[in-house]
């Protein structure tokens, strides 16, 4: 019940500048802080109570001064990342969630329609039109991709000289990272995404000096997956869809590959034991995907993705879940990698 | 970070009718539940993950069926009360909180302005104009008052034949309860509130058969408190204001009373130890008052109210905080009673 008010009270203490001031000048009183940030001492006192409760700051009854407690030990860059998350949740989710029930009933983003007049689309379309959504989203996503791609490429094998397709590769960042992290003679990477991403992708390839190794192919994954590749990457994508669409995507990839072709998937996963109280993914993603970004979708357990891959003609060769110890506590998604190989189908006469 | 999504995921499972169906027909699958409530099986499965995590419901991997777990033991009336709280928070707070920082800076309800075009007023004014706010608010408040007034009247002494003023008594419910719970020959109770409440208050007195003992006086507490009373009740009111206004109210009451006159206050209080993790009042009220209902205000510790009473010429004779054990876990406010007596002022010559 107090989830929304806890969330905004904490974020507001940052937005008002209270946290920065307490970190810079320990000992300021509510009156001094109020004057500095443009709020009444009463409001400052009320909002900081939660931070005292949670031992983020201390309050000295004698002097009336506030000082950093747990917040003293937090690095500026960690704070910035946590705030990028909180701001994204505020801008993309807080108000939209009001309409979650209707979004679940209709499979559409009722919140985006009510707040932005967006009908029938997804958040990923809306960010192109609405700078506030885009800023909140891009600010977070750039941080996330920068942190997680090195881990992904450190844990998948891409043969020298491979022809790689980055499925739903957006404006080419994944292709660029592939070339950077998995350089080999003859390696070629193609970003496959909607045609409107082409110009920006090509510009990105040029500015990163990888225009020779990288190319762009326009299309929609639900109309078919291009052939002629031996490795397909699917990063940050499958969790956006319900099972029916995930299976369509995986079958499409399977059809496009030769036997022995490989797929490497990176996707957030739920814990195998859903009742795990240290994992906050089920607290966040269902409502976020259904109510705020897609009107459907949400991650699955690793074992579920594995069984879906097998349903679609793959043999899973490697799975790896990022350990909680490697992830800062403010990062919600728990990412996993699944690598799989297309297996030969039994011939029409059961020939093997 | 996951507070808003946890809140709406849980509420959405109720709103969709998933919880009712699982309670009525244990063992239904996501497909069956989806058909019953008009949502995809995928969305049902995603949203129920949180309830499985929190052990509200169980999920059987073999059959795919859901059954009540902790929810099995919860009474229908307890569920209804919890849902009245959650619905109020959704309607009155969830979206408005987006604007908390700006509300704190301006001391106005930016959320109400953005969503309802209400400028310069409070939630209590807005509920008169907006049925969705009113329904969510009244539905909760009626439950709260019905539960808490018997406790209040069981713990304050009102002398036989007293002339009682119910300050900011709204449409007369407190006056009616006074007559019901503290009946004595000659007892008279006057509801004091804004003049526009008079007609409804008088109608309430008549319909409860207490028109002879109860009357209404129109006015604004900040313009002065009426004289001629020996007992003043201040229920559900002081927490709406910053210290400056609370002190104005208490001084006004003090001036209106004769020495020996009594005031009985009921108000939610913060724990004396703010770091108490079992108490959720600081998680909720600052943001709720500043961002959603008043643009200012919020409860204080009991000791703070006590010191303010003493600052305003009262001697506190009794304090009582409702024990957590008596309060259902879904009820956020921890109410306290403060009884106080007006003390004689030192005369101009320091005569005592």
A243 inside domain: yes
Distance of alpha carbon B64 from alpha carbon B46, whole angstroms: 13
Query: What tokens were used for B283?
Result: 């998680």
Collect all residues of chain B within an 8 Å Cβ-Cβ radius of residue A38.
105
Q: What are the tens digits of pLDDT across the range B202-261?
A: 999 999 999 999 999 999 999 999 999 999 999 999 999 999 999 999 999 999 999 999
Together in a domain, B252 and B195 = yes
CB of A293 within 8 A of CB of A91? Answer: no
Query: What tokens were used for B319?
Result: 């304090």
DSSP code for B296: S
Together in a domain, B265 and B116 = yes
Q: How many CA atoms lie within 13 A of B223 on its CB side?
A: 6
Collect all residues of chain B within an 8 Å Cβ-Cβ radius of residue A18.
none
Together in a domain, A193 and A333 = yes
Collect all residues of chain B within an 8 Å Cβ-Cβ radius of residue A85.
1
Q: How many CA atoms lie within 13 A of B188 on its CB side?
A: 11
Mutate which: A101, A105, A110, A327, vs B, most B CBs within 10 A: A101
Together in a domain, A162 and A18 = no
> Rounded mean pLDDT of A5-34?
98
Distance of alpha carbon B243 from alpha carbon A177, whole angstroms: 57
B14 inside domain: yes
Q: Is the dihedral of CA B221, B222, B226, B229 positive or negative?
A: positive
Model pLDDT, residue A327: 84
Distance of alpha carbon A150 from alpha carbon B151, whole angstroms: 61
Distance of alpha carbon A331 from alpha carbon A322, whole angstroms: 12
**Closest of B75, B94, B213 to residue A114, by C-alpha:** B94
Q: What are the tens digits of pLDDT across the range A274-305?
A: 999 999 999 999 999 999 999 999 999 999 99
Strands A214-218 and A188-193: parallel
ipTM above 0.90, yes or no: yes
A334 inside domain: yes
Distance of alpha carbon B145 from alpha carbon B143, whole angstroms: 6
Distance of alpha carbon A223 from alpha carbon B125, whole angstroms: 55
**Closest of B240, B347, B250 to residue B297, by C-alpha:** B240
Q: Would the pLDDT of A352 be above 70?
A: no
Together in a domain, A56 and A125 = no
State CA A274 to chain mean position distance: 20
Model pLDDT, residue A65: 98
Query: For chain B, which residues score pLDDT lower than 70?
Result: 346-352
Distance of alpha carbon A172 from alpha carbon A206, whole angstroms: 11
CA distance A334 to chain B (A): 14
In order of A192, A193, A197, A203, A237, the CA distances from A218 in angstroms are: 6, 5, 8, 15, 17
Distance of alpha carbon B155 from alpha carbon B192, whole angstroms: 22
Expressed in angstroms, the distance from the first to the final Cα of chain A is: 59
Nearest to A104 among B16, B59, B90 (CB): B16
Query: What tokens were used for A212?
Result: 């020779």
Distance of alpha carbon A245 from alpha carbon A250, whole angstroms: 9
Q: What is the CATH number of the domain that holds B149?
A: 3.40.50.150
Together in a domain, B241 and B195 = yes
Total domain count, chain B: 2
A7 inside domain: yes
The 3-state DSSP class for residue A197 equals helix
A81 inside domain: no
Last residue of a domain, one of A22, A54, A73: A73
Together in a domain, A12 and A119 = no
Question: Is B124 an 8 Å CB contact of chain A?
Answer: no
For B279, the domain range is 110-342
Q: Would the pLDDT of A348 be above 70?
A: no
Q: How many CA atoms lie within 13 A of B219 on its CB side?
A: 15
Question: Is B97 an 8 Å CB contact of chain A?
Answer: yes
A82 inside domain: no
* Global pTM value: 0.94
Q: Would the pLDDT of A58 be above 80?
A: yes
> Rounded mean pLDDT of A62-78?
94
B348 inside domain: no
Mutate which: B8, B48, B88, B299, vs A, most A CBs within 10 A: B8
Model pLDDT, residue B352: 44
Share of chain A above pLDDT 90, in %: 87
Identify the helix (H) or strand (E) that includes residue B341. strand B335-342
Together in a domain, B68 and B131 = no
Question: Is A114 an 8 Å CB contact of chain B?
Answer: no
CB of B4 within 8 A of CB of A286? Answer: no
Q: Would the pLDDT of A144 be above 80?
A: no
Distance of alpha carbon B212 from alpha carbon B202, whole angstroms: 11
Q: What are the tens digits of pLDDT across the range A207-217?
A: 999 999 999 99
Expressed in angstroms, the distance from the first to the final Cα of chain B is: 59
The 3-state DSSP class for residue B236 equals coil
Model pLDDT, residue B351: 44
> Rounded mean pLDDT of A7-12?
98
Last residue of a domain, one of A58, A73, A88: A73
Question: Is A116 an 8 Å CB contact of chain B?
Answer: no
Together in a domain, A193 and A289 = yes
Binding-face residues of A in 277-336 toward B, CB within 8 A: 277, 280, 282-291, 296-298, 330, 332
Together in a domain, A170 and A253 = yes
The 3-state DSSP class for residue B234 equals strand
Q: What are the tens digits of pLDDT across the range B329-352?
A: 888 999 999 999 999 876 555 444
A348 inside domain: no
Put simply, the answer to whether B55 touches A275 (Cβ < 8 Å) is yes
Collect all residues of chain B within an 8 Å Cβ-Cβ radius of residue A276.
53
Query: What tokens were used for B92?
Result: 């009155």
Q: Compute the mean pLDDT over every residue in chain A, rounded to the nearest whole number.
A: 94
Model pLDDT, residue A349: 56
The residue among A317 and A148 whose pLDDT is bigger is A317
Together in a domain, A235 and A314 = yes
From edge to edge, which strands make up the β-sheet containing A65-68? A28-29, A65-68, A57-60
CA distance B297 to chain A (A): 7
Collect all residues of chain A within an 8 Å Cβ-Cβ radius of residue B86.
1
In order of A335, B149, B247, B301, B337, the CA distances from B305 in angstroms are: 50, 20, 10, 7, 10
Q: What is the CATH number of the domain that holds A23?
A: 1.10.10.10
Together in a domain, B332 and B239 = yes
């Amino acid at each position: 019940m107090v989830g929304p008010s806890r969330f905004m009270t904490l974020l507001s203490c940052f937005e008002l500048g209270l946290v920065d001031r307490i970190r810079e000048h320990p000992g300021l009183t509510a009156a001094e802080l109020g004057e500095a940030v443009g709020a009444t001492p009463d409001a400052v006192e009320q909002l900081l109570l939660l931070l005292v409760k949670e031992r983020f700051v201390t309050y000295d009854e004698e002097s009336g001064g506030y000082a950093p407690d747990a917040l003293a030990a937090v690095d500026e860059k960690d704070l910035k990342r946590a705030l990028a998350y909180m701001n994204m949740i505020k801008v993309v989710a807080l108000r939209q969630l009001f309409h979650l029930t209707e979004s679940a009933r209709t499979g559409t983003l009722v919140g985006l329609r009510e707040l932005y007049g967006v009908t029938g689309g997804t958040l990923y379309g809306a960010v192109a039109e609405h700078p506030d959504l885009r800023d909140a989203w891009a600010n977070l996503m750039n941080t996330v991709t920068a942190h997680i791609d090195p881990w992904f490429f450190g844990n998948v094998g891409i043969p020298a000289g491979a022809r790689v397709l980055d499925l739903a590769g957006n404006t080419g960042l994944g292709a660029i990272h592939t070339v950077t992290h998995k350089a080999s003679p003859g390696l070629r990477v193609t970003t496959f995404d909607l045609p409107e991403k082409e110009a920006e992708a090509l510009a990105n390839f040029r500015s990163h000096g990888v225009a020779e190794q990288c190319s762009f192919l326009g299309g929609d994954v639900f109309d078919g997956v291009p052939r002629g590749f031996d490795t397909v990457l699917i990063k940050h994508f499958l969790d956006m869809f319900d099972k029916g669409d995930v299976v369509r995507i995986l079958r499409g990839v399977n059809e496009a590959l030769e036997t022995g072709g490989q797929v490497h998937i990176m996707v957030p996963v739920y814990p195998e034991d859903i009742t795990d109280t240290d994992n906050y993914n089920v607290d966040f993603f269902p409502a976020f995907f259904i109510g705020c970004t897609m009107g459907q979708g949400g991650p699955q357990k690793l074992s579920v993705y594995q069984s879906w891959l097998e349903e679609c003609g793959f043999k899973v060769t490697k799975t790896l879940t990022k350990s909680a110890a490697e992830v800062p506590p403010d990062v919600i998604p728990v990412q996993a990698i699944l690598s799989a190989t297309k297996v030969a189908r039994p011939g029409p006469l059961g020939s093997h």
